[in-house]
Structure formats: structure tokens, C-alpha cells
Amino acid sequence: MPNFQTVRGMRDLIGKEAQTFIRIITKAQETASLFGFKEVFTPHVEHLELLSAKTGDEICQRMFVFEDLGKRQVALRPEFTASIARLVTSTLRTEPKPLKLFSVGTVYRYDEPQRGRYREFWQSNFELIGADKPEADTELILLTNKLMQTLGLQGYAFKIGHIGIIKEILSQDDVDEKTQNAILQRMDKKEYESALKLVTSEKCRGTLQSLIDLKGNNWRDTIEQINVIVSDYEKAKIALENLTEILTIVTSSAEISLTVEPAFARGLEYYTGMIFEVYIPQLEIALGGGGRYDRLVEAFGGESTFAVGCAHGIDRIAIALQTQNVAHMPKAGLDVVVIPITESVKVDALKIAQMLRDRGVSTGFELLGRKMGKALEAADKHDFDYAVIVGERELCMGSIVIKDLKKREQTTVLITELFEKLGVK
């Protein structure tokens, strides 16, 4: 027997779930347009070399890699950022900066499937290329805030850090880049003990431990405390200043709930500056995340280019909306079905259906030629609001019958009054 199940970790989206995804995607597109991001479409399949260049071991090991028929080593994209960096170093190389690019679609990672963790999942992705100012970092946090807000999510909060703080501490203590990445990977998984084992200098270990232990809700207090902890690390202090500036702008531009976590790291290796994730209290998984990555474009052979971006997990946002009971999409308008009583009025009934569609009413048609009782039963099951019943007798008088399927009432009306009776403007 052939296996007709979806591939492990991959899902069909149907009915209400598909509607919820469409709603999230639409809101992400509206947010992109509000913030001046232009949508771009890039391939799902890219050269393995590109995708594995700077993503980091964590994600590289979880890519869907294969050889195509031309013997090229390719992979399904595990994220959008590498594809955007490729675009920026090629086709868009001479475009005026800053470039603001938005994408939405599926990405692929061989993660262990569980609720909120899939092997094929959807992201809405924003990249802002060519701006080094803290205002640019701020835009990504603010647009994420806007998206969460317009989706109707409650109590969401940002976790914010700066990868430069940890990296500069490690660099000052001569920890090489490869070890730094290994340490950050472990810190991302909260495996602090094993992360600290990779640090030889006792002073450096102590500093990192103090940052790990630091938990506070008031971000200004947390910044003050970090300042004391990193007082001997000049470059880490510069990173902290940068973070402070970003947070000052963010909090003075919007109502936003955030905590600063200096030991917060992210799975991707390319980050160089501010990093963030967004959560709702009911779920432990991040709904989105991103940060500054000033060296990725250059690593792909482009000029040195500032960049900051983020991605939102649409599958997880759908779970969040469901968890907070805001999953139902408010109905956009009426759903009407047109039912001809006899063959002889079919063409007229189709004309009426077309009339309704021309006025923007979502209109179905009885396509199976069922008797009235069965057709109305089916209309109920399909959740139509009204049935427009077209009969020979009424038609002779320029009328049709409207049945309100929710109230179970029916009236005969003139075709010329149809829109008025349905409340269509």
C-alpha cells in the first residue's frame, strides 16, 4: 500500500485553520506595507553552499538536502535571510539603500515534530538592509509589536538582548570565533553549565555567570546592572550603549512590554547586535525573533553591509490566536447560495448568482441539481446565510424567494429589491 499520509512534520491546512493562516498572512502583508517593506518572492530551493554558509551548525544539520538531477547539491530553504542576502549581493546590488524587503512562505527544518514545531512551517520575514542606526533595529521591534497588536494577541512581551555583549566579553578574553559560536549555541538552549565549560578564563566565566543570573523586569535597572558587570570590557560597554539607545527609542515610540536578558542568545550564527524574540504568557515557544547581522552580506561576497531583520512563525501565531480564543476570522460578508427549483430557470438563476458576485457577495450555486429539501440541508451544512430560491412562478412576476437560513424565515421579493433585502450596500 502506498503511504498516503503527509510526510512527518508536514501538515495540510484546511477549513478554519487555512482561514486563520490567510488572516495572519494578510496582516503581515499590511504591516509590511505600513512600514514600507516591499514583498519579494525567492525560490524554495537554493544551493546548499549558500544556505549553509553562515546559518550555523544548528540549522545546517537540520536542512532538507538533496542532489538534483543535474548533480547539484541543493536544499530546501530553512529561513529567508540567506536568500535575501543573495539578492542583495546580486540583482539588488545597486539599489538605493536602505532596502526593506518582505517575504512570506514555507521554510523547512528537520526539527523533532511537536505542537508548534514542524518540519514545514510558515514565516513572514522582514529584512532591512543598509542601515546601521538604532532606529533601524527599532523598526523591526515596532513592526512585530504592530503585527501582534493588530492580530488581537494579548499580553505578548519581548525578550531583548545584544549578542555583542557576550561576543565582546569572549573576544577580549581571546576566545576564538568557532568556540564563541559553540558557547552561544549552548546558551541559546539554556545549557549554561556546558557553555561555561568552554571558557577557560575564570574571570570571563564569572562575568558570564553574572549575566546569566541577572533577571529583572525593569529594563533600565537591568541595563544599570549589566553596566556594572561589564565595567572591565570596553567593547561590551559599547554594545550595551547601542542596546540602551535602541530600547530608549522603542519605549518612547510605543507601549511595549519587554525584558532585557543579557545572556539571551539565538540559534542562528550570523547575529552581531541586538536580538529579540516575542512570546505570549500561555506559550513557551517564540512567536517570532530576529536581530542585527552586519556581516552576512559581506560573507556572501557583497560589500560590507549593515542589516537587521526578523521572522514570525505563522503556525505558532495561529496556535497563539487559538489559545487566546481570537482564532475565528470575523466573517467578511454574507454567504449566499442560489438554488433553481427547475431546469427551466437554471440560466436565470445563474444570472442572479452573477449579479450577486458582481456586487461582491460570496455566492454559491446548487451544482448537484438536488431537490429543494436536500439542497437547503446542504446549504445549512455549508454555513450559508441565505438561499436565493429561483422558481418559474415567481420569476414570471420578476421575483425570487429569499430564505434566511439562520432565522429560518422566507420571503418573496422583487429581484430589483434583492440587494436591499440582503442588506448589501
Binding residues for ligand HAM, per CB under 6 A?
79, 81, 109, 111, 116-118, 121, 123, 125, 127, 267-268, 286-291, 293, 309-311, 313, 315-316
CB of 286 closer than 8 Å to CB of 268: no
- Cβ-based neighbours of 32, under 8 Å, separated by 6 or more: 38, 39, 102, 124, 126, 143
Q: Which is nearer to ligand HAM, 216 or 267 (CB)?
A: 267
- Beta carbon nearer to ligand HAM, 139 or 315: 315
- The answer to whether residues 118 and 111 touch, using CB atoms and an 8 Å cutoff, is yes
Contact yes or no for 115/73 (Cβ under 8 A): no
Minimum CB distance to ligand HAM, residue 244 (Å): 21
In whole angstroms, the minimum distance from the beta carbon of 175 to ligand HAM comes to: 24
Shorter beta-carbon distance to ligand HAM: residue 262 or 290 = 290
DSSP letter assigned to residue 343 = G
Least Å distance between CB 309 and ligand HAM?
Answer: 3
For residues 164 and 289, which CB has a smaller minimum distance to ligand HAM in the complex? 289
Which alpha helices (DSSP H) does 69-218 contain, by range? Answer: 81-89, 134-150, 163-172, 177-188, 192-197, 202-213
Minimum CB distance to ligand HAM smaller for 111 or for 348: 111
Contacts of 380-387 with C-beta under 8 Å, sequence gap 24+, read 380/405, 382/335, 382/337, 383/335, 384/335, 384/336, 384/337, 385/334, 385/335, 385/336, 386/334, 386/335, 386/336, 386/337, 386/422, 387/336, 387/337, 387/338, 387/339
Nearer to ligand HAM, 156 or 384 (CB): 156
Task: Please state the closest distance from residue 248 (CB atom) to ligand HAM, in A.
Answer: 22
Residue 222 Cβ vs ligand HAM, minimum distance, rounded to whole Å: 22
User: Minimum Å distance from CB 46 to ligand HAM?
Assistant: 13
Amino acid identity for residue 285 in this structure: I
3-class DSSP assignment, residue 339: strand
Measured CA angle at 297 (ends 277, 274), to 5 deg: 25
Task: Please say which residue, 127 or 269, places its beta carbon nearer to ligand HAM.
Answer: 127
Q: How far is the CB of 290 from ligand HAM (least distance, A)?
A: 4
Geometric angle at alpha carbon 246, from 244 and 248, rounded to 5°: 65
Residue nearest to ligand HAM (CB): 313
